[in-house]
Structures are given as structure tokens and as C-alpha cells.
Structure 1
Amino acid sequence: MSDQKSIMIIAGEASGDLHASSLVLEIRKLIPDARFTGIGGSRMRDAGVDLILNNREIAVTGFSEVFSKVRNILKAFRMVKETMRMARPDLLILLDFPDFNLRAGKTARRMGIPVIYYISPQVWAWRRGRVRTIQKLVEKIMVILPFEAPLYGDKGVFVGNPLLDVVRPSLPAGEAREQFGLRKKSPVVALLPGSRENEIRQLLPIFLKAAHLIREQVPDIQYLLPVAPTVSEEKIQPMIQETGILIRLVRDRVYDAIALSDFAVVASGTATLETAILGVPMLIVYKMSRMSYLMASRLVRVPHIGLINMVAGERIVPELIQDQLTPDRIMKEVLHVLKDRVRSAEISKKLKQAVSRLGGPGASARAAEVVVQCLEGKG
């Protein structure tokens, strides 16, 4: 490819930032002088993407939560539109985040800019009509869950799951415990309350109350709380300090922290797959505003909220949502596994079996090849 290629890439959430950064690095191996611009987070910036906006400004969950950031979202869209108009990228790559990205994609198509979608919106859960919209909009949609590709016909390409390339501990468990200042034989529970501010508001107070109850039953329990790049430690530290419990915040080496844990309490989302890949038994939870839940319960039709349970086709790890999610219920689920090593081993085995359905490593490299084929007009 002789002329320098310009690629715009939009990832509105923390998980999208992770996958986009891996994709950018793989594209650079094939097109070293490619230029990237777009919306994302710290990982995309570190991969060399010229960010026009940090995705922290627009990340939301639920229906009612959108209203709190509507100004930011409209501003972001204007910035995207203007960047497209001025820079005329050779390709637009969209990652998940459908309400924003489908609109951006339509704008790109009107300008004659080809569009690739990477990581499908959850059309299998709700708004299945988006399948046809996406088919008309894109050259290809690269999906990361095995049951998604058939939905899109010849536009769908299953590239495997990019988490398999990056989710691995960097240290043996014993060494990692030492690095985190943990006692060797006392149990460890990881708390993962999400990557968005509204998730933290909904979930962290419940997690902290549960942590109190668990400690009453297991006095030597130890807690780690991995902090997503989109979350400010300054906002959660005071909440933790009020509890009087030692909960170690982990910003770096998050996978080491999860891997050494005996159990994890995890907000539904990408983190459930990451925890599954590491083979750690978990409880999957979620809670949103009352209005968002009432709307979602009428529209969403899935047997499980946890991605790993969907991939497995059965509930291999428990789930608690909305009013089911109480500190007492969390405590019971955690203790149920901590006090039963046989059950813990069975769950880890089933997680490994489910993860095997995600394909092998190399998803980001395969996705990069699809991108290059599209740029060369062979897609």
C-alpha cells in the first residue's frame, strides 16, 4: 500500500478501548505508517491514536443515565462529524456502543467513507432490527462471540475473542500475593463493580456492605478491588475508607489480582469473560436505576446476563440482578464457594470448557487482516 492510510476508530467504553488498542497495534504491523484518530481511552492513546475526545465523557449504561450526559454525547458527535469532514479518513472502525456508533456510521456512509464494525452490539438480547441496519451500513462486522456471526449473513466474520490474547497473569500467584501485600494462606475476594461512574454508584455500596458481612464469617478474608481506567480512584477511596475495611485498590496488574483470587464478585460485562478466562469462580451481578430496569425488563429477552453463561449455554456461575442483589445474597454466594473446594474446582473446570468455545488466540491479528482487505478493496 503506497499512500498513507488514515483510519478513524470509535470506542465508547473501557472494554472497547482495550480491544481497539490491540487492533491498532496489529494494523500497524501490516501498515506501519497508518494514521489513527478517534474517541477512546488511555489504552488507545498509548497505542498511538490521536484522541479527539476521551470516552470517559460519554460512557453510560441504562436508559435514564443517557440524559445526564446528553450534552457531552451531542458535543462528541459534532466533533466526530467535523473530523470526518476535515480529515476524510479512508475507513471508520466502530466498536460496540451502538446508539452513538450507528449514527456516526450513517454519517460516514453519506460522506463515502467505508465502515467496519468490530464487536457486535448485543442484538441477540434486544433490538434485533439493528441487524439489518448494520448489514446495510458496513463492509464487514467482525464478531467476537461464536453465536453472533450467523446473524449477519455474509457480512459477519467471527474472528475469535481478543481477550484471549491479553488476559493472562504476569506473575505466579504466590509472587503476586507478595507484591500486593497479601497473606499467603488467607482467602482473597476480588471486587469488580464496573467501569462506568453510574455502575460504581449502584454497585459499590452493596459490595462494601457485603464485604463487612463476609468478614464477620471469615475474619481473615482479604479484598482486592481492580480499578478500571475510566474510574477515578478519588471518587471511590472515600467510600472504602468509611467502611474501615482494608480493601486494596489495584490500578495496574489487574489480571494478576483477579487470577490470585479465590472468588470474584463481578459486574456484568467484559470483566466476566476476563475472570472466566483466568478460571476464577465468580458471582455475576448487575443493578441499574429503577426506570432503566423497568424499560430493560420489557425489552431484553435473554436467559442469562453473564456473557460466559451465554457462551456456555447454561448457568455455570450464579447471577444476581436488581432487587435480588443484596449484601446478604452476595455473602451467601461467596461463602458457598469459599467453604467448598470441590465446588470451586468444578466451577473452574466448567469455565475452562466454556472459554474453549471462544476460539484460539490471535483475534486482533485476524481482525487487522479484515481491515487491511477492506482498505485494499478486497473486503
Structure 2
Amino acid sequence: MNPQNRSDKPTFFIVAGEASGDLHGAKLISAIKNKSPKSRFVGHGGDKMTEAGLERIIHIDRLAIMGFSEVIKHLPLMFKVMNDSLVKIQELNPDRIILIDYPGFNLRLAKNCQSLKIPITYFILPQLWAWKEKRINTFRNYIDQSLSIFPFEQDWFESRGVYANYIGHPFSEIEPPKTTKKHFYSKHKLQESDTTLVLLPGSRQQEIDRHWPICWKTVERLRQQKPDLKVIIGKASGVEIPNNLEGATIEDKDIRAAMAFGTAALTASGTATLECAALDIPEVVFYKLSRISALIANKLNKSPFAAMVNLIAGREVVREFLQNDATEKNLSAALHPLLETSKERNDVLSGYEEVRRSLGVPGVYDRAAETILKRTNHG
């Protein structure tokens, strides 16, 4: 299938389609290169993967699409990306394809690559246990290696005939910020004693467009009771956030420092909810989809929770408000006790301890790299 003389310099085609995947992909590339320095990576990713050594074809900024109606609008682009990917894969003839999350695109790519007979690793598995369970057939038929980040996920896949190698969760090794709270707050012209709300409205522009109005309305409502409330906005790369919130500052370099040092967070459902748990900042979770996307999601979703923290715990550790429930009244009422010493705040922090214990031990990317290289016969 692949040239035998490439055993010391494997080539991987790798795909990530959003900011969280870019982070995971960058660390995975680095871990594989540490074990196999001549490895080559070609594919789609963001700035972090490029810095780690990816020969990038398409930037994630063009791929970060969320919701059913939103995907339909971008179908011509996605068809072109798919076609360009297949052409490049045929030209490259990689030793292995690595797919990171982003299931709407990646599972179709896996199917379309079947005739090429190239083995495929899936890292950060889609949450089939929550919705779209029928996608398990794609894993049975087209995915050579599945790397699981949750212990319950491994059991779920294996009970349906798909072997999944549990390697632990990447957030088990989140490091504390390299800066200090004093230095970080000084940069934002804040005092260490300030009560600070961190806004995490999402990593895609369409999320920002839908979430930002409710974010600033929630802050305005909170300030009726807490006029001295300070705000730091976590801004992902490639998005624009309207600067219409008085007294708020934007952090776009070290968002995790904002999480680590903030008092509480208002978080759009997604990877950031688990980052908040890892960094111990109490949060309230919210999310809004377009009306048609929400209707379809409600029919397909089997889980009682949206926030990853609650899914892992199997109970409501953090309050979550979706669609019409995500109002400034509900969000501000839920956030208020988290911004001061309270039973609600202590309950969230206690729940976080439970969640962190389930994430496994550090070394996730090294374990992923080792299993990928072994399966590729290059380690």
C-alpha cells in the first residue's frame, strides 16, 4: 500500500476543523515528532498545528461551521474542501490519516477514502452516545483505530462492536498559567481583589453573532446589583466581537489565564466548559442555535445535558440554559451566587473535583502518539 522505504519518516494526512481540534492536533503532532522526528504532517488545521509542523492546506477559520442550517449554507465550500482533500490524499499516499473530532466532515472523508485502502485513526471521538448513534456503522466499516478520551465512551463503543483504546482526557494535563494573577490583572488594568466575570461566547463567528447580545445584556443586568463587576472577554482567533460593553477588556492570547484567575465564567457549551472545570472557575453554561438547527438537534439528542462537565458527571454540576431558556434574567440569576462566597459556588467546585478525577492521568498525547506509531508500524 505504501512505500516500504518510508519506515523512518511516516507521512500523515491530518484534519481538524475547529479551535479545540487545532489545539489537540498541535500537541499530537509534537508528541509524534518527539518519537519519530522525521514524521511529516499535511492537512487542515489552524495556527497551532502549523506552528507544530503541519503543512497546512486549509485553515480552520474556513471550516468552523456549526448547526444544520448553517452547514447547508456552506455546502459548496465543504464539497470543494472534500474534493481537494481527496485529491491531495491520492497525491500524497500517506501512511495513515488522522481525524480529530469534526465528525460532519471527517466521517464523510473516511467513507470517501475507502477505495484508497489507507488506515485511519480517529482521535477525539464524536459523542455518538449523545446523538447520531447510527454513525457507529462508519466506525465499524471505515475507521482502523479509535482513540477514546472517556472511560465510559470506550465501553459504549466496544458494546457496539468497535474497539476503542482509552488513553485519558487531554485536559488531565492542563498546566497552570505561566503568568501570575497580579501580572495578568495588571495587564487588564484590574486589581487582584476585583470580582471578575469571564465571558466565553464561543470560538466560531456564528456563535459570537448569536451569543453576544445575551452576554452583554447579562452583564448589564448583573451590574444592577454589582456595579463594580469587571469583565474579561475570551476571544478566539479568527472571530470578531463587538466592542459595545463598557469596562470590558478582551483577552485573545492567554484565555486559560482568564479562566484560572477569574471569579466566575459565562460559557458557551463546548470544550471551554471542561476547561473551566480543569482550571477551577465556576461557570454557567448556555447555548443558542438557529431555530431550525435547534428543532433537528432536539429530535436527535439523547442526552439530558449539553455541558460536557454534566455529561461526564452524569448529573448537573453546572447550570445550563439552552435556546429560549438562555435569557439575561436566567443567566444573571444563576451567575450571581457564583461571584461571591456561597453554597452554589462551593457545590460547583466540589463537582469539578469529581469530574477531574474521571479525566485520567497526564501523558495523553504521548500515549496517543505511541499507539498511532505502533499501529502504523513506525514506532
User: What TM-score bracket applies, with the shorter chain setting the length?
Assistant: over 0.9
The amino acid that maps onto 2:325 is Q
Return the alpha-carbon distance in structure 1 between the equivalents of residues 230 and 113 of structure 2: 50
Structure 2 counterpart of 1:179, which letter? K
Match of 2:308 in 1: 307
Deviates more, 1:172-181 or 1:365-374: 172-181
Secondary structure, in 3 states, of the residue corresponding to 1:148?
helix
Residues of 1 paired with 2:118 and 2:55: CA distance? 19
2:286 alignment counterpart? 285
CA distance in 1, matches of 2:375, 2:83: 26
Amino acid at match of 2:180: P
Which residue in the other structure is 1:31 paired with?
36
Task: Specify the SS of the correspondent of 1:248.
Answer: strand
Tell me if the contact between 2:287 and 2:322 (Cα under 8 Å) persists in the aligned partners.
Answer: yes
Kindly report which structure 2 residues correspond to 1:182-261, keeping only aligned pairs within 5 A, or say none.
182-231=190-239, 235-236=240-241, 239-241=242-244, 243=245, 245-261=246-262
Once superposed, what is the RMSD of the aligned Cα atoms?
A: 1.6
Q: 1:46 corresponds to which letter in structure 2?
A: E
Partner in structure 1 of residue 351 of structure 2: 350
CA distance in 2, matches of 1:377, 1:167: 30
Which residue number in structure 2 is paired with residue 19 of structure 1? 24
1:346 is displaced (CA, Å) by: 3.0
Kindly provide the CA deviation profile for residues 26-60 of structure 1, in whole angstroms up to 9, marking residues without a partner as x: 00011100010111111111111011001111211
Tell me the matched-pair count.
371
CA-CA distance at 1:67 after TM superposition: 1.8
- Does residue 163 of structure 2 align to residue 155 of structure 1? yes
Paired with 1:168 and 1:306, the residues of 2 have a C-alpha distance of: 23
In structure 1, what is the Cα distance between the partners aligned to 2:284 and 2:95?
43
Compute the displacement of 1:164 (Å): 2.5
Letter in 1 for 2:266: V
**Aligned residue identity for 2:243:** I
Which residue of structure 1 lines up, in the alignment, with residue 267 of structure 2? 266
Is 2:102 aligned against 1:97?
yes
For 2:278 and 2:325, locate their aligned partners in 1 and report how far apart those are by CA, in whole Å. Answer: 26
Aligned partner letter, 1:285: F
Give the SS at the match of 2:133: coil
**TM-superposed deviation, 1:167:** 4.7
**Alignment-derived partner of residue 3 in structure 2:** none
Q: CA deviation at 1:276?
A: 0.5
Match of 1:173 in 2: 181
Preserved CA contact (<8 Å) 1:17 1:40: yes
State the Cα distance separating 1:97 from its structure 2 match: 1.1
Distance 1:341 1:158 in 2: 37
Report the Cα distance in structure 1 between the residues aligned to 2:105 and 2:7, rounded to whole angstroms. 33
C-alpha distance in 2 between matches for 1:37 and 1:296: 33
Give distance in 1, aligned partners of 2:137 and 2:80. Answer: 28
- 2:222 corresponds to which letter in structure 1? I
Task: After superposition, give the CA deviation of every residue in 1:39-96 in whole Å (9 maximum; x if it has no partner).
Answer: 1111111111011001111211111010222122111111101111111111000011
Amino acid at match of 1:192: L
The whole-number CA distance in structure 2 between the counterparts of 1:190 and 1:283 is: 11
Residue of 48, 51, 55 corresponding to 1:50: 55
Normalising by structure 1, what TM-score?
A: 0.94
Cα distance between partner residues in 1 of 2:356 and 2:193: 28
Deviation at 1:356, TM superposition (A): 1.1
Give the distance between the partners of 1:82 and 1:100, measured in 2 at CA.
16
Partner deviation per Cα, 1:228-259 (whole Å, 9 max, x = no partner): 1242xxx31xx223x4x121110111111111
1:80 maps to which residue?
Answer: 85
- Deviation string 1:258-294 (CA, Å, 9 cap, x unpaired) is 1111110001110001001011110011110001001
- Asked if structure 1 preserves the Cα contact closer than 8 Å seen for 2:260 and 2:280, the reply is yes
Q: Which amino acid aligns with 1:38?
A: G
Give 1:368's aligned amino acid: A
Match of 2:333 in 1: 332
Shift of 1:342: 4.1
Task: Structure 2: state its 5+ residue gaps.
Answer: 1-5
Report 1:349-368 matches (<5 A).
349-368=350-369
Do 2:10 and 2:378's aligned partners in 1 also have CA atoms closer than 8 Å? no
Aligned partners of 1:303 and 1:167: how far apart in 2?
31
